Structure 1
Amino acid sequence: MTDFTLNAVVRSDKGKGASRRLRRLEASTPAIVYGLGKEPVSLSLEMRELFKKLENEGFYTHIIELNIEGADNEKVILKDLQRHPFKDVILHADFLRVDESCKVSINIPVHFANEAACKGVKVEGGALMRLLTEVEISALPSQMPESINVDVTDLGKGQTIHLSDLTLPAGVEIVALSKGADHNDGVVSVVAPKGAAAEEEAGEE
């Protein structure tokens, strides 16, 4: 597991106006750290450094050591990130304090492997439909995977891989499945192409 460090400065100037000035004049990103029953602390991060860290997918799920100027360092995970809809700007970052002995919940990306070799597409002429791009999991911070890999090689037309079909590392649970069978959502499926589906319906009529 790769650990990351990120420098931060405590900020006392709060509010939307202060955040805009921070981004515009100082090229910094406003942030907050909270959790473990402690008071939330408002921070500022150098945006260039944050962008550099975000290039590594592991930064989204691994423990981060926040080096906070003038305060105690914090062990955290990145809980939320707000990006500008069209500018290359990070509007805000939320960090959750973690205790390495307690499980936390976080969304991690789903990666689909062997799409070109998928039986339902290559042999049966279907179309691959990605139903989920991320999944909320619960695990100890040290057990957090960077992603969930889904092999679609043997997925046939008309078939679906559900959350309960996913292979997970030891100690990792899917949050939705703890809510009952009704939450066993589909992750990826192979469907008939739109034109073919319309022809089949017309033929049945």
Structure 2
Amino acid sequence: MKFVAFERSKQGTGASRRLRNSGRAPGIVFGGGAEPVMIELDHNALWHAVQKEAFHASILDMELNGQVQKVLLRDVQYHPYKPQVLHVDFQRVDDKTRLRKKVPLHFINAENSPAVKIDKCLVNHVANEIEIECLAVQLPEFIEVDLGEVVKGQSVHASDLKLPAGVKVVTHGKPNPTIATVVEPVEEVIAAPVAAAADDKKGKKGKK
């Protein structure tokens, strides 16, 4: 994905507010052995971009001052209630940049699994994203979780994920985090007719 950014000279709260009022969004690009640069972007184009999953977990081409740089979106600050981006942070990356990044999980084939198809269980997604470590050029847009073989009583863990080459999961001390669980269907016990029958018997005794 490619986007255009413009260098900005004015900083501070007032300057950022005026920038937003003019349809622009302030940001910064840093890293890569170069000095941080304050930037601004067209807000409408940026707003549409941040709605796309790939914009958050892909290497992006940023055109700045006529040159294209490889960057990664690092942070987005949103307005509390307006559909507005207040600030964005980008990191310059190259073939040697190693990073940690959260990427989304895409669950597939649950409806074809024995747990769902035969035992009528439900699959509960414990996590919808996972943090990984890899070279920037190896960063996947998402990680696929194939649930086609899960059975009743099974849980899916990080160790069950099929990761791309060079990618490893960051567990933060947890040995093997749970990704999804299989929830057995709850049997409904219909007690209302029994209670009604008991009340009916009481009513008949009362009439006697």
Q: TM-score range by the shorter chain?
A: 0.7 to 0.9
In the other structure, the counterpart of 1:137 is 132
Q: Residue 74 in 1 paired to residue 66 in 2?
A: no
In the other structure, the counterpart of 1:15 is 12
3-state DSSP of counterpart to 2:97: coil
Contact 2:72 2:91 in 1 (8 A): yes
Q: CA deviation at 1:37?
A: 4.1
Contact 2:47 2:84 in 1 (8 A): no
In the other structure, the counterpart of 2:35 is 39
In the other structure, the counterpart of 1:189 is 181
Distance in 1, matches of 2:148 and 2:5, equals 44
3-state DSSP of counterpart to 1:30: strand
Using structure 2 for the length normalisation, give the TM-score: 0.78
Indicate how the Cα distance of structure 1 residues 124 and 20 shifts in structure 2: closer, same or farther if over 3 A, else same.
Answer: farther
Matched residues, number = 189
Q: Which segments of 5 or more consecutive residues in structure 2 lack a partner in the other structure?
A: 189-208
Q: CA deviation at 1:139?
A: 1.8
Give 1 or 2 for the bigger CA radius of gyration: 2
1:123 to 118, 121, 139: 118
Distance in 2, matches of 1:125 and 1:5, equals 45
Distance in 1, matches of 2:13 and 2:152, equals 50
Using structure 1 for the length normalisation, give the TM-score: 0.79
Contact 1:105 1:137 in 2 (8 A): yes
Indicate how the Cα distance of structure 1 residues 94 and 153 shifts in structure 2: closer, same or farther if over 3 A, else same.
Answer: same
Q: CA deviation at 1:77?
A: 0.8
Q: CA deviation at 1:196?
A: 4.9
Indicate how the Cα distance of structure 1 residues 14 and 125 shifts in structure 2: closer, same or farther if over 3 A, else same.
Answer: same
Percent identity over the alignment is 39
Indicate how the Cα distance of structure 1 residues 69 and 26 shifts in structure 2: closer, same or farther if over 3 A, else same.
Answer: farther
